[in-house]
Structure 1
Amino acid sequence: MTYDPPRPAGRLLLTPEDKEAPARSRRLRRLGLGERPEPALDSFADHLAEVTSAPYAMVNFIDEDRQFFAGLHTPAGGRAARGGKPEVGRRLAREYGYCPYVVVRHKALVLEDVRDYPRFAGNPVVDEYGIRSYLGAPLIDTSGMVLGTVCVADLAPRPWGKAGLETIKETAADLAGRLERREADGVPPL
């Protein structure tokens, strides 16, 4: 009998199982969200970036297959202009980034330096986009369903602290309330 030492798994990262994805996808379709950019959500992301001084801010809706940034703020000049990294677009696969963890956990996630967390350091956004810190909170409707996330990211480690956590949680709750009020009032999606 021979012993073969274990081979390194590389940067294996398992995206969390999302049992609520089919129901969330149906709910997002009913709300008319997650299929196209929303100017009001872009403005929301712009404001969030300003409040947190983060170069990236997003309102992200996640369905069964992908993430869609209906609200997106990126730095002027874009990532392609700096270091040849790709520009952050509106769509990402579910295995990219940290928002799928926020959605499945139903809790905010603070990563001051993603390299400090083996589970998160191997995420494709680290190498492909240069993301080094993340702060995100779930968009939870009154039924308890997580529709997506509100998040910010930076290219450098960031001490988000308690103030950052409170800000992201408050902005997520504010936006979730706005989305529900629009639905209750029969107003078309944002």
Structure 2
Amino acid sequence: MMHDPTGRLLLTPVDKEAPARVRRLRELDIGTRPEPALDAFAGRLAELTGAPYAMVNFIDEERQFFAGLHTVDGGTGGTGSSVGRYMARDHGYCPHVVVRRKALVLEDVRDFPRFAGNPVVDEIGIRSYLGAPLVDRTGMALGTVCVVDVEPRRWGREGLTTIKTMAAELVGQIHRREDGGI
């Protein structure tokens, strides 16, 4: 991981798997366009967690793409939504989840100096994050499922269990699709 020379912020982690991830996402034909099924999945995730925003996020070398998106107004990032489908790779917390291959729970991002300086805090107003990696059968972390809120939130063990379960469910769907079952 790269660190800010001041020692305060954890910068976007080095992602040596990005080129291989891009190839795997192309193989699976996901992560390049919005998918109604993934929008529905994000909507279900938002409902289960009570979060205003939920995403199915695939990460390449340059940016993040929300192939599944649920916004506070119940939208999917289309016209009229302030949340778009793309985000710079150095914004947000999903790149950390992908590189770590572990779920990340931030009940109040301001409590963590290394995460509090992330651009999404000031630019979008994100205050809490809960995300889990989508690790497929090849061992590749393809992206994440995550929820965020503009208020601090106690996700608790239940939230962590939910996000991990939903990540596993989506990976199963991806595998079935790859095997020709969907």
Q: With structure 1 as the length reference, what TM-score do the two structures score? A: 0.86
What are the residue-to-residue correspondences of 1:112-151 with 2, within 5 Å? 112-151=107-146
| Residue 22 of structure 1: aligned partner | 19
Structure 1: segments with no counterpart, 5+ residues = 1-7, 79-85
Instruction: Tell me how far apart the structure 1 counterparts of residues 11 and 168 of structure 2 sit (CA, whole Å).
Output: 28
Instruction: Tell me if structure 2 keeps the 8 A contact 1:87–1:129.
Output: no
Give, in whole Å, the separation in 1 of the partners of 2:10 and 2:124.
Answer: 16
2:152 maps to what in 1? 157
Aligned partner of 1:62 in structure 2 is 59
Match of 2:36 in 1: 39
Distance in 2 separating the partners of 1:44 and 1:77 = 13
Map of 1:3 onto structure 2? none
Following TM superposition, by how much is the alpha carbon of 1:88 offset from its aligned partner in structure 2, in angstroms?
1.6
Who wins on radius of gyration, i.e. which is larger? Answer: 1
- Matches for 1:28-107 after TM superposition, within 5 Å: 28-76=25-73, 87-107=82-102
**Cα distance change on mapping 1:89 and 1:72 into 2, 3 Å:** same
Distance in 1 between residues matched to 2:163 and 2:145, nearest whole Å? 7
The answer for unaligned runs of 5 or more in structure 2 is 76-80
The 2-side partners of 1:77 and 1:179 are apart by: 24
TM-fit CA distance, 1:57: 0.2
- Alignment RMSD, CA only? 1.9
1:110 and 2:105 matched: yes
Counterpart-to-counterpart distance in 2, 1:186 and 1:34: 19
Answer whether contact 2:8 2:114 (CA < 8 A) is retained.
no
Name segments (4+ residues, structure 1) moved above 3 Å.
8-13
Sort the Cα spacing of 1:23 and 1:77 in 2 relative to 1 into closer, same or farther, 3 A.
closer
Q: Secondary structure at the match of 2:99?
A: helix
Partner of 2:78: none
Cα distance in 2 for partners of 1:33, 1:23 equals 14
Instruction: Give the whole-Å Cα distance in 2 for the aligned partners of 1:52 and 1:186.
Output: 28
Q: Distance in 2 between matches of 1:44 and 1:186?
A: 18
CA distance in 1 between counterparts of 2:99 and 2:7 reads 24
Residue 9 of structure 1: CA displacement? 5.1
% identity of equivalent residues: 73
- Measured after TM superposition, the shift of residue 170 of structure 1 is 0.3
Q: By how many angstroms is 1:75 displaced?
A: 1.1
